[in-house]
Amino acid sequence: MSQVLCPGKRVHAAAILAAFFVCAPDSRADERGEKSVPQFADVAAEGKVAFKPAADESNVPKLFQLQPREFEYKSQYAHGGARFRMYRVTFPSPVTTEIEENNTIHAEYFQPVGPGPYPASVVLHILGGDFVLSETVASHLARNGVAALFVKLPYYGPRRRQGSSRRMISENPHDTVAGMTQGVVDIRFAAAWLASRSEVDPERLGITGISLGGIMSALGASGEPRLRNVAVFLGGGNFGELIWANETRQAEEFRKRWLAAGETRESFKDVVGQVDPATYGKLLTGRRVLMIAAKNDEVIPPACATALWEAIDREPELVWIDAGHYTAIKYLPQELVRLDRFFNGKPKGGAGK
Give the pLDDT of residue 226.
Answer: 97
CA–CA gap between residue 236 and residue 219 (Å, rounded): 10
CA–CA gap between residue 212 and residue 328 (Å, rounded): 15
Nearest to 339 by CA among 24, 118, 128: 24
pLDDT tens-digit series, residues 253-306: 999 999 999 999 999 999 999 999 999 999 999 999 999 999 999 999 999 999
Of residues 80 and 218, which shows the higher confidence score? 218
pLDDT tens-digit series, residues 159-182: 999 999 999 999 899 999 999 999
Give the pLDDT of residue 29.
Answer: 46
pLDDT reading at 50 higher than 70: yes
pLDDT tens-digit series, residues 294-347: 999 999 999 999 999 999 999 999 999 999 999 999 999 999 999 999 999 987
206-220 average pLDDT score? 98
Give the pLDDT of residue 36.
Answer: 65
Please state the pTM of the whole predicted model. Answer: 0.90
pLDDT reading at 24 higher than 70: no
Indicate the pairing of strand 147-151 with strand 104-112.
antiparallel
**φ, ψ for residue 203, nearest 5 deg:** -85, -5
Hey, what amino acid is at 172?
Answer: N
CA–CA gap between residue 106 and residue 158 (Å, rounded): 7
2: pLDDT confidence band, cut at 50, 70 and 90?
A: low
CA–CA gap between residue 98 and residue 292 (Å, rounded): 37
Give the pLDDT of residue 186.
Answer: 99
> For the sheet containing 118-124, what is the strand order?
46-51, 69-80, 84-92, 104-112, 147-151, 118-124, 200-210, 227-233, 288-294, 317-321
Q: Confirm if 126 and 191 have CB atoms less than 8 A apart.
A: no
Q: Confirm if 280 and 312 have CB atoms less than 8 A apart.
A: no
Beta-carbon contacts of residue 258 (< 8 Å; ≥ 6 apart)? 268
Give the pLDDT of residue 351.
Answer: 43
28: pLDDT confidence band, cut at 50, 70 and 90?
A: low
pLDDT reading at 31 higher than 60: no
CA–CA gap between residue 202 and residue 60 (Å, rounded): 19
Written in H, E and C, the secondary structure of 199-244 is: CEEEEEEEEEEECHHHHHHHHHHHHCCCEEEEEEECCCCCHHHHHH
Range scoring the smallest mean pLDDT among 9-13, 105-109, 315-319, 336-340: 9-13
Q: Confirm if 277 and 218 have CB atoms less than 8 A apart.
A: yes
229: pLDDT confidence band, cut at 50, 70 and 90?
A: very high
Indicate the pairing of strand 69-80 with strand 46-51.
antiparallel
Helix (H) or strand (E) holding 183: helix 173-195
Nearest to 295 by CA among 286, 283, 303: 303
245-253 average pLDDT score? 84
Nearest to 40 by CA among 115, 148, 137: 115
Helix (H) or strand (E) holding 270: helix 265-273
Domains of the chain, with CATH numbers?
44-238+276-343 (3.40.50.1820)
33: pLDDT confidence band, cut at 50, 70 and 90?
A: very low
For the chain, what is the largest distance between any 2 Cα atoms, rounded to a whole number of angstroms? 72
Beta-carbon contacts of residue 21 (< 8 Å; ≥ 6 apart)? 136
